[in-house]
Structures are given as structure tokens and as C-alpha cells.
Structure 1
């Protein structure tokens, strides 16, 4: 756990919240501790209780889990104080009834007839807490490691095995696994690493993955979806061009839960113009019924499968892509998640 010398910000962000409450008569810090401070709160009816604050410079969900495990009412009510508290960390705190306060004024505390909740304040030092790079589209090696983990979400993984499967260094695998462990998405056991809360992990991956819009060709075809998908087979036979279905057209191959009228696919960048000409499509600024994503790296088609004579990207890629689609994209992603990934 990374600790920080308790500065005035850490003290004041808690003090200011409690002193504004009409039912709090008195608030004072009674002592400093190794990892924070202890404060006494006196209610207007004379009732007093202690807050045992743990102050950390940079907090991870794993930090919170450690605090929760050693939480004791004899030490007073444990609260977390940090310059920045992420949404995931905040959710874990609330689920386990642990209060938290950050320097931007965001907070949550429930106890002794007190309810405090404030969210949405912009952190004054956001540059220090950038989104995890391993989830970005450009992080190819990290992406391959994550995809391997989702091949079997119940498996215990060795670093050496993962490095060999992905063809990367053990150091790169270790970096990814340490990050997942810090954020309580993975845990280290005596036999290796295993995922915990894979659904939450995949959701966060899709959220950051979608922040940068994928390059794509929006196209219009006179053919309906069924005819167009049949033509893709001839595209391979006549022109030697492979296409990989994704989005709704790929998702229904795994979980037929929706109807769709737009085809999404991956093609090698050098094949796109030739495919557009062969399929007699044209680029449009609106009203497209075909979207082609350039296959910029092979991570997009890792673990792709042949279903009903069509090549389809993996369930993980379907999830990532469908979560970015408007309409029923999230419903499609959830169906594939439950049927193919979380078994």
C-alpha cells in the first residue's frame, strides 16, 4: 500500500464535509497515525464516534480490498482519503460500506444517522491518473495477453505460459498482470494468476477501447444483408480476399438475439478498395448499411472462428465492437458475454 504524509488537503477534505452537516456539533482530529489520522465526531444529541482515516497518495481497488479485510469497528469507522478515487474504487467502497473522500470534494459516507454523497467533481490533478494504456486500441501486446486470459476465465495462468502463447517477454506479461492485480481484476495464488470479476474487467476494457473511434469505411450496398453476406464467400473464392464479420452480423452467429440491417466486417487495408469495387458498394456520409474496419493488426482476429461458412471474430472482439454500437449494441454484447465468455 502506498502511503502519503497526511497534508492539509487530506485533513480538510473530510473536516469540511462533516462540519457542514447540521446534526454534527463538533469535529476534531485527535491523533495522527502511521497511515492517516483519527478524528472524533460529536453529534447534536451528544453521541460521539471515531473516524479512522487511511490516507493514500494513489489508491487502487486492491488497496481498498486490503482495508476492508482489516476493518475493525474497535478502531473506529474506517474511511479512505486520497487525492483521486476512481469510479471502480468508489463502487467497491460503497458495496462494502467504507466511506471515501477525495481532494476534489467527491465523497460517500453512511453511518450514525449521517449520509454523505457527492460525485462528479472534476479532479484538480487528472494528468496524474491517466486511463490504463493496456486497454487502448494501440496496445497490441497487452491486447493479446488479455484475449488469452479470456479464452478461459476460470483458469489459473502462469506468466511463462502466457509469454510463450503470446510470443512476448515475461516482463510484459508481468506488467499487465500487476496492473490487473492492483485493480482487483486478478489475484495471485500459489499456482499462478486468475481473473476475478471478468465481467467488470471486460466492461472497463470496452469503455477505454471505445474512447478513440476506430477508423472505418461507411458504405452503401443495394443488396440486402443476406445477399451481401453470401457475396463475401465469393469475394474469398474469386479475389482471395478474407473478410471477418463483427458487430451485429458477427454477434448473431454466437447469440441470435436481435435482427440487424447493417454488416460490420474487418478487411486487410490493402484489400478494401478492391473489395468495395467487387461488391459494388459506394462510400457515403450517411445512411450506410455496410461498415468496413481496416485490419490494422492481427489482435482483432485472434481466435476468430468459422461459423456457417463465414469467418467471425472472437466473442471478445464482438463484445468490444458491439459495445461501441448504438441501438442494441450493448444487448448484443451482453448476450455474447454470457453465452460464450462467462461460461
Structure 2
């Protein structure tokens, strides 16, 4: 998709996209119309196209938007409703016709497309997604690709720095959250929290209310996050220990600590899931640790590095927020929070994904 510089150029490209879509109708007569002034100073459509197909004529009323995020799409469909309601009763030269509102944007996500369907608004985007339904006509196209700006926007929401903010929201989705409280809980700056909340608002995953921010779509947020998840940056250390069972657990527990400012270690991935929502026992134990915590764990468990046959995997990380959000399912034993555990497992192998689905049902009751 080429870069579009001006609003006028976007309107022209959008109207052309609608005409291209209509080429799917064999024998249809398509006539672009000049803009028609609305009575009473009402906003006029960005484009009008008359379609004569079979024995019926329809007038496509086009609204073109530079942004296709759900929040902007919902506003656009209301604008289209108003435009159609105030269309002149007679458009030269054919007279009154059935109106078909259609929204055009550079990209419409599945959530934005769903809004259009809910309001019976046709749509087409410049990536190739489209839906047009009227008498005897049904056109629907869906493409898996996303434009680079959309991919970058999603990545900006799901950066490691933003992860602590998202985890805080998902821990208490009912809120409400003041920006200052959310910043304090996530140990993030007010500016960063505001930017993340703005992006979530555009996608209608949160709602801004008089008493604060409320996460209204935790399921949509988590599902999108897991598809764009980047596991915490960490150095992997594969090791073997002769310890097992209760002796392993007791020695490991002496190294686990979630107190700020001291060496920190916690169970991760399938090992964490065993303490949150047991699914199946994994012979390999996984941990997140900082540098000092990793040294202590190596000593207490007599770990030796191996290339194959490991039964302990250490992920040495500098992401302090992971430790800040650690949970203590039993006294003195720490593991990653349910959200981190779920995401780590979801991005693993088939067995780990099954464990993630089980954890979601047990620990995240709002997930669908």
C-alpha cells in the first residue's frame, strides 16, 4: 500500500477502492457522482457511487477515515447514519434510491469489521478486507496481512515496558484505575501509562469513566497480546541436578525470594503453572532469576551446565517488573504471576499451550 499524504488523496484512493470492489459484480453499471450538498449544513459524504445491478439501483454513501481503530470506526458509523438520514430525497437524475453506507480506511481490524457488521455498514480497506451486502449481492473478503503501521502500533502496546501496565489492568479488570494509581502499581511513568491507555482506548479495550479507567475487554486484550507476545529478554542456562522431589523443592525454596533489593528467583512457565493450576508434571524445572539469584540457585541445587538432558532451565533476566509481580502461592515459594505464566506457556510447544488453556480456565475466569 503506497503512502498517502493528504486527506483529499485518501478520499480519492478510498473511492477508487470501492469502485474496484464493485467490479466483482458482472454487468453492474457503476456511476460515480459529484458530492451533493446536504440540507441544513449537515456533513456530506466523502463520495457517492450509483450502482445499477439487475432491476435495482443503490447509492453507495462513502465515508473515508484515516484511522481504522474501533473507537474511530464507531464514530464513523454514527456519522454515516447521520449523513444517510439527511440525504436529499431526490438525487439527479434518477430520483430516490436505496442507500448503502460504506466505510473505507487504510486498515480495519477484525474488531473494527465487527462494529461495521453490527451497524449494517459495508466496508473496504486498502489491505483487501471488504464486505458489501445488499439485494442479491454478497461480497466478503478477508486477508491475514496487517500493514506495517498497524503491526508497529501493536508492538508499541505490547513492549516489555508496557507489560507491567497491562498485567496490572488484567489483575483487576473491573478497576477503576486512576492514571497515578496505575503508574504506581506498574512502577511506570505517568506519561507512559497515559500513552498505553490512549492506545487501549482507541481499540475500545478500556473505557474512561469519571472515576477512572476500566478494562472492559480483558479477553480481547489478552488474546491480542498472546499473538504479539515477546517473552521477557533473558539468557537461558540449561543445567542438570541430581536432586529431585522434596529435597529439590526444599532447597529451591530457600533460594526463592521476591523481596526487592536481594537476589531473586522464582518458578516460571510449566513449573509456575504447577503451583497456580496443576495440569501435568514436567520433569524439567524452570526459573526466572536475576544474576545474583542465578548464582545462589546454581550453588544450592549443585547445578552443572549440560547441552542435552537438562532438568533445570534458568532464564536470567534484568526485567524487575517480573519479580515485582511475582505471586506466593504457598509461604516462601514464589512464581510468575498468572498472566506472565499464561503468555509464556501459550508461546511454547503444544503441551505447554494445553497447560496455558487449563490455567486460563482455572485462574483467569474472564477469558473465553
**What residue in structure 2 maps to residue 158 of structure 1?**
178
Deviations 1:289-320, CA, capped at 9 Å, x for gaps: 43322231221123322223421221121122
Q: Which runs of 5+ in 2 are unaligned?
A: 1-5, 36-42, 88-98
Over 3 Å counting, the alpha-carbon distance change for 1:40 and 1:296 in structure 2 is: same
1:117 maps onto 2:140 in alignment: yes
Match of 1:192 in 2: 212
**CA-to-aligned-CA distance 1:96-136 (integer Å, 9 cap, x gap):** 5543222233323333332323333756x625751331312
Which whole-Å CA distance do the structure 1 matches of 2:354 and 2:232 have between them?
A: 21
**Alignment correspondent of 2:67:** 58
Residue of structure 1 in register with 2:271 after alignment: 249
User: How far apart, CA to CA, are the structure 1 residues paired with 2:283 and 2:315?
Assistant: 17
Mapped partners of 1:187, 1:94: distance in 2? 22
Distance 1:79 1:211 in 2: 40
Instruction: Find the partner of 2:57 among 21, 27, 48.
Output: 48
Q: Of the two, which has the highest radius of gyration?
A: 2
Q: Structure 1 residue 65: deviation in Å?
A: 2.2
Q: Is this contact kept in 1: 2:236–2:314, CA < 8 A? A: yes
**Under a length normalisation based on structure 2, what TM-score does the superposition of the two structures give?**
0.77
Instruction: Give the superposition deviation at 1:180.
Output: 0.7
Partner secondary structure for residue 7 of structure 2: coil
Unpaired runs of 5+ residues, structure 1, are none
**Displacement of 1:57:** 1.6
Residues 130-209 of structure 1 mapped to structure 2, 5 A cutoff: 130=152, 131-137=154-160, 139=161, 142-209=162-229
Count of residue pairs brought into register by the alignment: 333
TM-score by length of 1: 0.82
Choose from 12, 16, 21 the match for 1:12: 16
Using the alignment, how far apart are the partners of 2:340 and 2:125 within structure 1? 35
Once the two structures are superposed, the pairs formed by residues 1-343 of structure 1 within 5 Å of their partners are 4-5=7-8, 6-22=10-26, 25-32=28-35, 34=44, 36-43=46-53, 45-69=54-78, 72=81, 76-94=99-117, 97-120=120-143, 122=145, 126-127=148-149, 130=152, 131-137=154-160, 139=161, 142-210=162-230, 215-222=235-242, 228-235=248-255, 242-276=264-298, 278-285=300-307, 288-309=310-331, 310-342=333-365
